[in-house]
Structure 1
């Protein structure tokens, strides 16, 4: 597919890399010539210097032959204008990044009026993920499928766990819960386990289950998983605002520490149920006075990765809080993963996942469609949800008779709200949504799961 990306910021660069890796023909537009050269020198894409909202610049980038334009500049208004012009000039699909909370309640109206295919808000998406994590504090990552009925959860097997040395096929029968372990991280290795795979303490395991089955699983393995009651957020940016707004009716007591006095006043008006503290979040004495040792969750959400990392390491040293760390740049990811930073949130990766899901759905060919997509396990594996059409292959054939690719697992079947943990005799039927976990990148259609 031919795709134009307007804006070479963090989200634009991440999208350029990932969509280029998936074999698309990418053209990047940016006003900053040095940024543009940096992208085109490192990635095999075309670059056009100029304002992406100018008709002539879009024409130079090839808007007439373009399938999709994605506008990811720092200005919401510029992004919307880019999409409006692209729609008129090239009649292509359009995606705009719209981040301002003032637009949050009007996104549906904006989408319809500007005929946008999709509006993305990285901060809102990140806040949604953090809110899910605070409800399951023992989990380090949660991804939702089947409109929230099914979740893919990741946690670390602790010392002296009943799971240590247990084989995967034994987990369901011995713990009396219907979950499916679909990925295991052991050191630098990522494994899609078979039934005979033996788990070990320290493994990071990802499993698929409904919320109720997940709760039962954690109860059986002796892990306390009650929702946190207090949350301390350092940094009063958009993510903290959206998160506090989501949690204000849950009974969780929110405390936000922000250095900018004007922003504190603004947050006090917007979030009457939250406690807003004016101060430097990296001041250890302030953190102690505000109760960091007693808080049940701590989220480092400033605009600086290094500060967020240091804050989370400090919180881990003085408390037993559920930790959430926001990271914007992904340099040194292997080192970051080895630190005790709790759940690491990458807003730009969450955004990229949503857009890549949409791009793959545009390409679907034989009656199945990518509904949901998450990069999991340090981007080394994918979890995808396909909606099965009446013309899809595989229909009605028992799973045990199908020849699936290696390192691929059918993790769940959702049939009209009934969640099925697949066994060999189960079949895939029209109208189902099917969750697939695999280390193969680029699956666009359900038929791609077969050898």
Structure 2
């Protein structure tokens, strides 16, 4: 596949690095230094210029491109780029936008703007936050097979009942599979004797009910998330509150600007909007922030988000989730005490990368910035899995593969060694990134 990416910022560069190992990639950016730096990092063609310009697109080989990804930080530029490309090529066009208004217009008339697929960064970020909030203790959550299967990643605290237990001791759930242990830089495929340590991240796959039960078991002090405070009426904050409303949660949203607070109060009927400065400790204490199950910091400043999240945590909030616009700060936020840091650019890059990989899979979830993937595939006769017990077929895969769940005729099948996978089954598989190419061909 030949892919042209317009924009060599954090999003475009991440996509280019992810795709360059298996596809031909060309990247366009008006900043020559960015292009040159990316060419040193990845095996790509770099073109300096305006991606909305026909001559620049032609220089990047748009006429032979299978996919065009417009990923600059400007919504209008991305849309115009897709519209320009479709006048001279048959490439499938993907546009990144921040504002959901463009997404709404596009959804009402597919192929509007000359865009085949649109990813709205702020809405996507809010969806990630809402999923994580809905599952106590989770760092990442994805669903498969139309919601029948759930994948979740949890950090194991020292106080967790399963810390220092073996997987065999911890695995007490009929419809749950321990898919991986992420320890430092290692991806460990768990066996019965594998010991779960404090600070490990555990990836589990199973029915939503079993995943929720597991979440409650590993963090028994966590409450069902109902008391949520969203700090900041930014676009991300608005969408987060709206999504939480849709899920039966009545959040409080704190916004400092008077006009914006009134606007939000009119649009979010199921949300209590408070006009105040969320960095005011006395205000937070009056609003009983200590009783909050989760506090979401969604201000337009990373520094303020960090301050608010740490202040809320210090005052007793059970869990904090912060938006971090600078990708290099994500690890820092979590290191100093923020429970979950969500980077909109990283989330967008993963979503676009995931979409480009779904030619051979029904759905793809990327774990820890490409350390591993969880794939949903429909089994064909050519698959190594077809017509064989899992114990037999798994021996042909390289180390780093776990069959996490099977859907057959709308029913969930719990995978065991003697389970025979059938043609047309939907199988959810965890795959270490190091063996992804080999495994994808075999599946």
TM-score using structure 1 length: 0.87
Structure 2 residue 381 is the aligned partner of structure 1 residue 382:
no
In 1, are the aligned partners of 2:324 and 2:330 still within 8 Å (CA)? no
How far off its partner does 1:394 sit? 2.8
Q: What's 1:155 paired with? A: 154
Which residues in structure 2 correspond to 1:72-91 (within 5 Å)?
72-91=71-90
Q: What's 2:126 paired with? A: 127
CA–CA distance in structure 2, aligned partners of residues 309 and 379 of structure 1: 25
In 1, are the aligned partners of 2:230 and 2:241 still within 8 Å (CA)? no
In 2, are the aligned partners of 1:393 and 1:447 still within 8 Å (CA)? no
Question: SS in structure 1 opposite 2:328?
Answer: coil
Q: What's 1:366 paired with? A: none
In 2, are the aligned partners of 1:394 and 1:447 still within 8 Å (CA)? no
Kindly provide the CA deviation profile for residues 326-383 of structure 1, in whole angstroms up to 9, marking residues without a partner as x.
2223326554443321122222222222222232234xxxxxx222222224542222
How far off its partner does 1:285 sit? 3.3
Distance 1:379 1:104, change over 3 A: same
Q: What's 1:49 paired with? A: 48
Consecutive unaligned residues of structure 1, counting only runs of 5 or more, are 363-368
In 2, are the aligned partners of 1:99 and 1:121 still within 8 Å (CA)? yes
How far off its partner does 1:114 sit? 5.2
Q: What's 2:28 paired with? A: 29
How far off its partner does 1:298 sit? 0.3
Question: SS in structure 1 opposite 2:269?
Answer: coil
Question: 143-152 vs 31-40, which deviates more?
Answer: 31-40
How far off its partner does 1:249 sit? 4.0
Kindly provide the CA deviation profile for residues 392-446 of structure 1, in whole angstroms up to 9, marking residues without a partner as x.
3431011111222112211111223322231111122222222221223473585
Distance 1:72 1:261, change over 3 A: farther
Q: What's 1:178 paired with? A: 175
CA–CA distance in structure 1, aligned partners of residues 159 and 238 of structure 2: 39
Structure 2 residue 117 is the aligned partner of structure 1 residue 97:
no
CA–CA distance in structure 2, aligned partners of residues 236 and 430 of structure 1: 49
In 1, are the aligned partners of 2:245 and 2:271 still within 8 Å (CA)? yes
* RMSD between aligned residues: 2.8
Consecutive unaligned residues of structure 2, counting only runs of 5 or more, are none
Distance 1:147 1:398, change over 3 A: same
Structure 2 residue 298 is the aligned partner of structure 1 residue 307:
no
CA–CA distance in structure 1, aligned partners of residues 336 and 146 of structure 2: 32
Distance 1:98 1:158, change over 3 A: closer
Question: SS in structure 1 opposite 2:427?
Answer: strand
Which residues in structure 2 correspond to 1:43-442 (within 5 Å)?
43-113=42-112, 116-159=115-158, 161-172=160-171, 175-219=172-216, 223=220, 226-331=223-328, 334-362=331-359, 369-377=360-368, 379-402=370-393, 403-441=396-434
Distance 1:165 1:2, change over 3 A: same
Distance 1:424 1:41, change over 3 A: closer
In 2, are the aligned partners of 1:67 and 1:92 still within 8 Å (CA)? yes
Question: SS in structure 2 opposite 1:307?
Answer: helix
Distance 1:42 1:277, change over 3 A: farther
Distance 1:203 1:7, change over 3 A: closer
Question: SS in structure 2 opposite 1:128?
Answer: helix
Question: SS in structure 2 opposite 1:253?
Answer: coil
In 2, are the aligned partners of 1:357 and 1:370 still within 8 Å (CA)? no
In 2, are the aligned partners of 1:309 and 1:325 still within 8 Å (CA)? yes
Distance 1:183 1:135, change over 3 A: same
Distance 1:401 1:249, change over 3 A: closer
CA–CA distance in structure 2, aligned partners of residues 400 and 322 of structure 1: 40
Q: What's 1:365 paired with? A: none
CA–CA distance in structure 2, aligned partners of residues 203 and 422 of structure 1: 24
Distance 1:334 1:255, change over 3 A: closer
Kindly provide the CA deviation profile for residues 219-278 of structure 1, in whole angstroms up to 9, marking residues without a partner as x.
555725553222222222221111111122444232223344443343233223323334
Distance 1:66 1:444, change over 3 A: same
In 1, are the aligned partners of 2:176 and 2:204 still within 8 Å (CA)? yes
Distance 1:379 1:283, change over 3 A: farther
How far off its partner does 1:207 sit? 0.9
In 1, are the aligned partners of 2:330 and 2:342 still within 8 Å (CA)? no
How far off its partner does 1:41 sit? 5.5
Question: 208-217 vs 60-69, which deviates more?
Answer: 208-217
CA–CA distance in structure 1, aligned partners of residues 435 and 267 of structure 2: 42
